[in-house]
Homo-oligomer: A and B are copies of this chain.
Amino acid sequence: MEHDTATLTGANLIAGGESRRRDETFAAVDPRTGQEGSVRFHDATSAEVERAAAAAAEAAGVLADLEPATIAAFLRAAADELEALGDTLIAQADFETALGETRLAGERARTCGQLRAFAELVEGGRHFEAIIDTADPSATPPQPDLRRMLIPVGPVAVFGASNFPLAFSVPGGDTASALAAGCPVIAKAHPSHPGTSELSARAIIAAAGRSGLPDGTFSMVQGRQPEVGRALVLAEKVKAVGFTGSSKVGRALFDLGTGRDEPIPVYAEMGSLNPVFVSPGAAAARAEEIAAGYAGSMTLGAGQFCTKPGLIFVPADEHGDHLVEEISERLRDHEASPLLNAGIRQALLDQLGRTKQLEGVETVVEGPTPGDAGWSLAPTLLQVQLDTLLATPELLEEHFGPASIVVRTASERMLEAADALEGSLTATVHGVEAEFDELDELTTRLREKAGRLIWNGFPTGVAVAAAQHHGGPYPATTAAQHTSVGITAIRRFQRPVAYQNAPNELLPPVLRDANPLGVPRLVNGEVTTDPVTR
């Protein structure tokens, strides 16, 4: 398929216009070959970032007072526009990420599904979390009429992730949830897929235009230099940040945002180890099934998922030996896959080089060979004993890419292993019914360490659902209280406001007596969509 088409201009898309203030440019690179594309992309200047933020601040007032139906129509229009890009979008994304057309088509479906799920949420109005307590003059002290709802926080900066060029990037969950909340968005494109980002941004901008929204509703800046991201987080008008990416960058942005004169929340989702625990019963009963699932999960998208399982605790018995052998066989047969960019590839090679040298680390599947083409790497499997893991902090660092560590442990030490872990997005337990008593305690301990607990499954594949939680204790994220997937992700970009004794005419529609929007409200302790009488 074609890529780098004439529709790409390489410009920053700011408040409805194109802008190219900086002379230095960069190009997308094909991970399969290391060759550059033909379009030159312009990093944004600080002045361009400021302009996007100012336009967003102006748009914020308009968006905050829109009818939910208008926001919903805009989100659906954005999904429609993304789909209307057809093969152009998939070809560009595949050229820039080498993730493959099947995966990318699935990711587009997920991305559009997310936008439409937020449209539905917004129409329902539950996200306003409206609460009304009517006046009680007989109380001591007398209670005023109080009405509370959530309103948008204002302009949001969204940092696209390299590993999901759609679902966690410019048109992804952070953007969808911020727009759904009524917040203007300034998206920073990831330099590994600048063209995909430009196409996606144009789709959202077209949708905003069709919906009659102000120009500042959505802007996109390119940023290969870290200074672009810094300028965005420091822009005074920006009120919250959504980020998916590495611990190093996530923490740096968090520190910048919380260190501002006016601190702002930085919701950084930074990936994690996603430990998998295999019980003796499960290893004995289902070694092949677990091995197939594990090998598939750790190599999905070349191991570049935030939820890639990086550690697997396997019983130190013969069933465990068999399980490790089964995983190894599958990994040895697995072909090398291209990583997203040269930096990720080199970082993994360097880290693996160091890890393999550590005392007590056995290399089970060797991984990269000198002959790999482009940025491709074959999967690596290392093995240690639990005591080595407990004594070696480097083994508790994420190896981003197709690499994983087997930890052999006596089953009675699984709890000790769980307690030694840091925060993760997920934790997985494979077990059988006869072991529920022991596994109950393990599950409880793992709850302290992870945002999502998976039973007899694998952590990759994060369903977009109301009950989803994609988050977890630090260092998995900088805000364990929030999710970046699922409809509750909207809560990151809202804040409450309460009205006391306000006349009906001065209340927002959500809180008016008649409930003209028909939203569910907690009125004097009961959830209802009925009107309120004073």
Tell me whether B457 and A262 are in contact (CB under 8 A).
Answer: no
Shortest CB distance A268–B (Å):
10
Bound-state Cα–Cα, A443 to B503, Å: 11
Tell me whether B495 and A465 are in contact (CB under 8 A).
Answer: no
Tell me whether B453 and A469 are in contact (CB under 8 A).
Answer: no
Q: A146-B463, A506-B443 are in contact. Are A500 and B131 (CB under 8 A)?
A: no
Shortest CB distance A285–B (Å):
15
Using Cβ atoms and an 8 Å threshold, which residues of chain B touch A106? Answer: 141
B147, B466, B479: the one within 8 Å of A131 (CB): B466
Interface residues of A in 188-210 (CB under 8 A from B): none
Using Cβ atoms and an 8 Å threshold, which residues of chain B touch A497? Answer: 447, 450-453, 469
Using Cβ atoms and an 8 Å threshold, which residues of chain B touch A35? Answer: none
Is A433's beta carbon under 8 Å from chain B?
Answer: yes
Is A480's beta carbon under 8 Å from chain B?
Answer: yes
Stretch at the interface among A252-260, A294-302, A346-354: A252-260
Tell me whether B258 and A451 are in contact (CB under 8 A).
Answer: no
Using Cβ atoms and an 8 Å threshold, which residues of chain B touch A483? Answer: 496
Tell me whether B436 and A146 are in contact (CB under 8 A).
Answer: no
Tell me whether B498 and A467 are in contact (CB under 8 A).
Answer: yes
B473, B501, B505: the one within 8 Å of A440 (CB): B505
B109, B153, B465, B520: the one within 8 Å of A481 (CB): B153
Using Cβ atoms and an 8 Å threshold, which residues of chain B touch A448? Answer: 61, 154
Q: Could you give, for residues 433-475 of chain A, a 1 whenever the CB lies within 8 Å of some chain B CB and a 0 otherwise?
A: 1001001100110011011111111000101011111010111
Using Cβ atoms and an 8 Å threshold, which residues of chain B touch A125? Answer: none
Chain A interface bracket (under 10, 10 to 19, 20 to 34, 35 or more): 35 or more
Interface residues of A in 462-517 (CB under 8 A from B): 463, 465-469, 471, 473-475, 478-483, 486, 488, 491, 494-503, 505-506
Q: A455-B503, A475-B262 are in contact. Are A481 and B469 (CB under 8 A)?
A: no
Bound-state Cα–Cα, A153 to B525, Å: 26
B65, B463, B520: the one within 8 Å of A143 (CB): B463
Q: Which residues of A contact B (CB under 8 A)?
A: 61, 65, 106, 109, 129, 131-133, 140-141, 143-144, 146-148, 151, 153-154, 254-255, 258-259, 262-263, 265, 423, 433, 436, 439-440, 443-444, 447-448, 450-457, 461, 463, 465-469, 471, 473-475, 478-483, 486, 488, 491, 494-503, 505-506, 520, 522, 525, 527
